[in-house]
Amino acid sequence: MMEIVCPAGTPASLRAAVKAGAHTVYCGFADETNARNFPGLNFDRQEMREGVAFAHDHGAKVLIAINTFPRAGAEALWYSAIADAERAGADAVIVADLGLLAHAARHHPGLRRHLSVQAAAANADVINFYGREFGVKRVVLPRVLSVPEIAAIKADTAVEIEVFVFGGLCVMAEGRCSLSSYATGKSPNMNGVCSPATHVEYHDDWGALSAKLGGYTIHRVGAGEPAPYPTLCKGCFTAGETTGHLFEDPVSLNAEALIPQLAKAGVTALKIEGRQRSRSYVAQVVRNFRAAVDAHAAGLPMPQGMLASLTEGQAATAGAYKKTWR
Amino acid sequence: MDLTVGPNQFFWKAEDWASFYDSLATAPVSRVVLGELVCSKRLPFFQDRIPAAIETLLAAGKEVAVTSLALITLKRERKLSAELVEAGIEVEVNDLTMLAYLPEKTPFSVGPLVNVYNEGTLGWLAARGATQVCLPPELPLDQVRSLARAGADMRVRIEVWGHGRLPLAISGRCYHARLHGRTKDNCQFACEDDPDGLEVSTLEGQKFLAMNGVQTLSDTFACVDHQVELLRDAGVSALRLSPQTGDFAAVCALYRGRLDGRVSRGGVAAALLEAYPGIRLSDGFLTGATGAEWSGARSGAKVEA
């Protein structure tokens, strides 16, 4: 059966996800070592130990994301996160940085290593390189590949494949995007944040609501229309004669319908994005995906459209998986 | 400090591409990185010109390297990348996939699209054979300083993005094709019409980004005119100048003049704004609060006050 990997931004979410049927939960420490470094989110050391113990008691695993790029001159913070993850009993760490992987492989050889999506490993050769050099056992694929491309990768590697199936959608290769720091000074790679809320402003322009990020107006909706969060790559821009969502529409990813194809492609684990989401959201998504993989494992038809109401702005896409980009 | 001309990020006609590299033969730069960085579909149009360009530049006494693609996914791209190693020219790695093909102990350089954010990564790459590393453009000056210091101990030359539209993102999706209602496989080379990228502005008409096929760049042209002394003191070995249309050899000469003290601080920016009317400059990643900031604007405000 395919493994469901669920986000947990707080200890309460972790418990909710485990109770809802998550095989695995991923979370991070409350500092800049993880790519969801939001106020009020994530785990201190004790909460992490308790969360891992709770999950293990319920037969679930915990992965700890240490997936930002250590700051020059301050790598000790990231090294201690790796050591504390091992001490807390984590089943694996999710790492993106080459130097940090080398450190973990050398100093914590018994700690299982997954390659974060932030490493944007998009072909079998580089995945095998990470496997060979650093003993990486699993790779989280960037959200820029189609299902046939994923199948082709799996055909050429023994490293396990994990793919995102639900939640936020990056259209840029992850870990290789500095749009956010260009506009706001804060980036996913360096600060663990993208298009941060601290830099968002909403303005009422003659009845229309404008959303600005870092002073750039990238959304405008009429009175009463839902205003999407101004994430840079999903903003509204003008190029040539065209004004619109030039990079991606304000949609989120929902690949639940592709579970059978992803299973056939050899995918080991399905990942749900959203450590910043509420525990009730997490529990609902987990229940539905667990039902879907259980149905698939039992040879039953896929339940359809369960999660439509949970997707951002009510619009969802299968992203690159359906090959429409190519 | 030396000057490196980075690989052209845009899709130019083959004859324009070739004459650009001819013109660099006499430009005051010590190193040139060429080849296709952004999109493998562009390569067949100028691939046959590459050997002659390399020969010309080597004959002119330049160090020459060929770049890898920035995002290697397809089987064809993997094959192409593996073959790059056999060309006998130094490879600039811009996707870590290249490390799967480079034999141990083969020296290589690392481009700005590889995430070198810290000493651990720099050290690992140095041990693997990296001799020169161009840091990611978003790194602030204090981290450049840390890495340059570490690079000196490891005998790795540290290069910094000095001039040109900043590479901000790379995607599996082609935005030029999307703009024209096409898919990537049927793009009909829409990016060819925009040899410096296509301007992308906000809903208020503020210039913001530039579209270049699967790549997204800044609208502003990075310019380290105001940081030359800081970068030199930090131990940075080279500045990278990224190709654009117009008289690029003159752009190289401006920076060379600035490094040699023949052009004063602010002189490069002033000359650029005169030669390319309407462009905007930035240096915020190094010393500003955001990447888009320009310290020339701040000092200008002071003068007015």
Residue A185 and residue A299 in one domain: no
Within 10 angstroms of residue B39's Cβ, the number of other Cβ atoms is 24
Residue A234 and residue A273 in one domain: no
Residue A223 and residue A309 in one domain: no
Domain-embedded: residue A174: no
Helices marked H in chain B — which ranges?
14-24, 50-59, 75-84, 119-128, 141-154, 175-179, 228-234, 248-259, 267-275, 284-287, 295-304
Domain-embedded: residue A55: yes
Pick from A177, A216, A220: CB nearest B169: A177
Residue A215 and residue A77 in one domain: no
Q: Which of A223, A244, A265 corresponds to the end of one domain?
A: A244
Minimum distance, in Å, between the CA of residue A268 and any CA atom of chain B: 20
The confidence score (pLDDT) of residue B299 equals: 54
pLDDT at A17 over 70: yes
Domain span holding position A149: 3-169+251-322
The confidence score (pLDDT) of residue A144 equals: 80
Residue A165 and residue A192 in one domain: no
Residue A30 and residue A134 in one domain: yes
Residue A192 and residue A259 in one domain: no
Domain-embedded: residue A95: yes
* Set of chain B residues whose Cβ sits within 8 Å of the Cβ of A318: none
The count of domains in chain A is 2
Q: Do A238 and B169 touch (CB under 8 A)?
A: no
Number of Cβ pairs < 8 A linking chain A and chain B: 216
Measure Cα distances from B165 to A14, A15, B5, B161, B208 in Å: 43, 47, 13, 10, 11
pLDDT at A309 over 80: no
Contact A212, A218 (CB under 8 A): yes
* Chain B contacts in chain A segment 254-293 (CB below 8 A): none
The confidence score (pLDDT) of residue B298 equals: 65
Mean pLDDT in consecutive groups of 10 residues from the start of chain B, 305 residues:
98 98 98 98 96 98 98 93 93 98 95 98 98 98 97 97 98 92 89 97 96 97 98 98 98 98 97 96 97 82 36
Contact B298, B292 (CB under 8 A): no
Residue A294 and residue A232 in one domain: no
Minimum distance, in Å, between the CA of residue B259 and any CA atom of chain A: 26
CA distance A139 to A162: 6
Pick from B97, B201, B289: CB nearest A126: B97
Mean confidence (pLDDT) of chain A: 91
Residue A58 and residue A189 in one domain: no
CATH of B2-167+216-304 given 3.50.50.60, 3.20.20.70, 2.60.40.290, 3.40.366.10 = 3.20.20.70
Give the pLDDT band (50/70/90) at residue A305: low
pLDDT at A60 over 90: yes
Q: Do A172 and B75 touch (CB under 8 A)?
A: no
Residue A197 and residue A307 in one domain: no
- Tokens found for residue A322: 């359906």
- Tokens found for residue A272: 């749900």
pLDDT at A39 over 90: no
Domain boundaries along the sequence of chain B: 2-167+216-304
- Burial per residue of A101-121, b for 16 or more beta-carbon CB atoms within 10 angstroms, e otherwise: bbbbbeebeebbbbbbbbbbb
Q: Which of A244, A264, A279 corresponds to the end of one domain?
A: A244
| ipTM for the predicted complex | 0.95
The confidence score (pLDDT) of residue A40 equals: 84
pLDDT at A123 over 80: yes
* Chain B contacts in chain A segment 93-112 (CB below 8 A): 96-100, 102-103
* Set of chain A residues whose Cβ sits within 8 Å of the Cβ of B138: 178, 181-182, 187, 189-190
Contact A92, A86 (CB under 8 A): no
The confidence score (pLDDT) of residue B301 equals: 40
* Set of chain B residues whose Cβ sits within 8 Å of the Cβ of A131: none
Residue A256 and residue A195 in one domain: no
* Set of chain A residues whose Cβ sits within 8 Å of the Cβ of B123: 99
Residue A269 and residue A218 in one domain: no
Domain of residue A282, CATH code: 3.20.20.70
Q: At what angle do helices A75-88 and A45-57 cross, to 10 degrees?
A: 30
Give the pLDDT band (50/70/90) at residue A15: very high
Q: At what angle do helices B14-24 and B248-259 cross, to 10 degrees?
A: 30
